[in-house]
Structure 1
């Protein structure tokens, strides 16, 4: 592999349908990678699923990509016979569910294969895709799969970006539900709302909402990052409990410190649950799986699905650069809300 100082790939296993290896990336660590060329019949492909189950399990991030020779839904096909859920489709869905692999979608043309026939005999299908497990999704939540142009083959190449070089910082202030658990939040809001003001009700409301921006600075300067705080508290509690188990136990002040840290940890875990639930947008979840891996992946998948990776401008040109996408939106609404002459009589 070229540029070994940046990344190194080592083959671990291979067969007629798959090559499995480990990709070591300086910035992202070790990844399990499998490139697939699936057999045409379900019986042959079952050996593929068995090998992938053996090699692509565990806690390490995993990516499986290639030509699966299989489609999963009617949206993956255009033309030809009507789609039905065949055994090969069921086997692939079963593999994905049992082994925690997810299809993260794509940017580009909807189909990656075409039979290149004319008229009503022409068929398009999405045979090629990338699957990521939950650990990979956690490490690269904004991963993006591209369907490249289909030129010299009946298949289109696909690519996945592991490292996003574009940084897009939003200037919006979004209220965090976790802030409601801090007394300082209520004090900031009460102070802003009690301030005497003048003008119309709309103007007063706008100025008071603007003054609440102090929450942003309070959160930036005073609030600890919840995951870091959780790990730090766990380490401190463990050390105190080890000391407590020794002969003589803990002095009164350290015992109070231990109780206090346990209380703060419980509060932090509750805030983390609130933070993830706000991002997953799940309203029916009340109790039980408050902070499970399921809700983490639900939130990450929703964030990935809501991201606008490409858009057409006024000329019909597809734009993918984030700054250019921003300008397309800006010009659209600038034109929509520009001053215009209207006839009000009659």
Structure 2
């Protein structure tokens, strides 16, 4: 179930005055609005929310849909829509998780004919017609590769006759294709380049932590309601970003305990105390007492250096030429070959993407990826996020 506090955090972040959701009835819909909008929630279920808006004395009903994926739930949703059927302007939009006919899909298994017939019957009974649209013909893809890949148009906007009279020139725009979105996102400005560019998430967390520390110091110097509000919002934002980082680690490692991960300081230290034993003092054979970690370290190294003198027993196998070859900066082709050697269905990285993402978007991201690898081999510093990206979370 979605967190209500996070809903309010996003409302504040996006500068809306009020918000609501169907979380209490088991749904996943969020909606936000400004105070100048005269909005009243009319009805809701776990699959829809209907609201009425009065604008310039014109009453308009809006229904947002996020449908389930099984036949019984669809039938419940169609019943809700048919029961509400009205003669005022009415717009219905969202993810219906069903198509009207096989022409709205490409690939995949045929859809249940009975489900499509029921959907069409509901639209006829409610007098709903699809709004004209621009953009992609399909709004959903199963993400599979090769012959198992399929597309469908599960999202649409519908309106009744009264709605068509009021919004005669309305048009529904589908989002651009995936590659266009990746290209635009990758071209956005970011702090630094190379390793720093890929470390954006952790850098943002560090900035938030510094901001929280500064706000706490300012509050100690002099109380202010604005400072306290800012501090609470910063704490909430920090928790959101930390959870995102932990989610990425959990996705990569696929380990239950990483759900609370090393980013959760209290959890990490609690685990560490159970598995780590620290030697604070040591008595040598001659009675000398070592009382500091440095003394203990030096003594242990000296002891084993004398005890395990392996000089002359190990042949030199790696030559200086081999060392130089291992440490040189890989070529672009070598980076490419290394990426393409990773299976498409491999475990996701810290960013949540599998290798298939990097392969399919290689023409967009190749320059940055090659620069990251080159910077690493030149001795560039990298954060724990990049450590996971390059080596995995437990290396």
- Fold conserved (TM > 0.5)? no
TM-score (norm 2): 0.36
TM-score (norm 1): 0.40
Higher helix share: 2
Give the structure with higher Rg (CA). Answer: 2
